Structure 1
Amino acid sequence: MTSSASTATAVDKPFTGVVGLHHLQLAIPAGAEDACRAFWVGLLGLTEVPKPPPMAARGGAWFRGAGFELHVGVDPAFTPATKGHPAILVDDLDALAERLAAAAVAVTWSHDFPGHRHFYSPDPVGNRIEFISPEPAA
């Protein structure tokens, strides 16, 4: 049993063990995996990685980018995420915006984040995705 004194001490000490982001997950409706593959792999260049067999039976897909994974998981009560969203760092924002627009994906530029250029696009099921790059140094 942990005493309240030792718990308070552990909570009061700074924690410095968070080292990065492994993955984020977006919900998708059943049957949307192929559309997600076309978007995340075909348009954005991520790589699909195999899901462990017990998880693969539930549907969805896992994708890997530079330093992160994006998991899409089937949610029977799916509703697109239109507020909370991932922000994906890209090295050529204009080229990506052009590529998405050419594929008939909406691109909505925003100018409200000083020091950054960014836009929002929906994934194939309507989840809000932000693409962002720092402003070049002057």
Structure 2
Amino acid sequence: MSFQYEAIDHIQLASPIGSEDLAREFFVELLGFQEIEKPDVLRENGGVWFMTGTIQLHIGVEDTFSPAKKAHPAFRVKSIDKLKEYLSGKSVKYQDDDRLPGANRFYLNDPFGNRLEFLEWNA
């Protein structure tokens, strides 16, 4: 092949129409992402974009929305136990999962029911 893949540019999840403020509360206020501006030509579609580090997460709105309950992004984090402690302090429920050898991980759902994975690889 004369080309190569470099990285994932962004992840897109869906949410119901009109849910942008709820997405902001969850991803910015709770998880610490930053909102980034959508290009002018795409604003009319609704939705909202976020970024943390080099990871972009786009929330697109759908009138026939159905949450992704199995398919999910996985966010690699440092100090996952501190993240769990932080979420517990905010009364956010998450589900630990010890089925991936060599990883400390958990799942939680965004406000729309989309599954999100957070993991830290053991050294």
TM-score category, normalised to shorter length: over 0.9
1:106 aligns to 2:90 (yes or no): no
Q: Deviations over 1:66-120 (max 9, x none)?
A: 1110000001110111000000011121121222233332210000000111000
**Gap runs ≥5 in structure 2:** none
What residue number does 2:61 align with?
A: 74
Q: Using the alignment, how far apart are the partners of 1:61 and 1:85 within structure 2?
A: 18
Compare CA radii of gyration and give the structure with the larger one: 1
| Mapped contact 1:40–1:63 kept (Cα < 8 A) | yes
Deviating beyond 4 angstroms after TM superposition, the runs of 4 or more aligned structure 1 residues are none
Q: Using the alignment, how far apart are the partners of 1:119 and 1:15 within structure 2?
A: 38
What residue number does 2:50 align with?
A: 63
**Gap runs ≥5 in structure 1:** 1-13
Q: Cα–Cα, structure 1 residues 15 and 85, in superposed 2: closer, same or farther, change >3 Å? A: farther
- How many residues align structurally? 123
What residue number does 2:37 align with?
A: 50
Q: Using the alignment, how far apart are the partners of 2:34 and 2:81 within structure 1?
A: 22
Q: Look up the SS of the partner of 1:69 in the other structure.
A: strand
What residue number does 1:122 align with?
A: 109
Q: Using the alignment, how far apart are the partners of 1:114 and 1:16 within structure 2?
A: 32
1:132 aligns to 2:113 (yes or no): no
- TM-score w.r.t. length of structure 2: 0.93
Report which structure shows greater RCO (CA 8 Å, sep ≥6): 2
- TM-score w.r.t. length of structure 1: 0.84
Report the structure, 1 or 2, having the larger strand content.
2
Aligned CA RMSD, in angstroms, stands at 1.2
What residue number does 2:77 align with?
A: 90
Identical-pair percentage: 41
| Mapped contact 1:43–1:99 kept (Cα < 8 A) | no
What residue number does 1:30 align with?
A: 17
Q: Cα–Cα, structure 1 residues 15 and 86, in superposed 2: closer, same or farther, change >3 Å? A: farther
What amino acid is aligned across from residue 28 of structure 2 in structure 1?
V
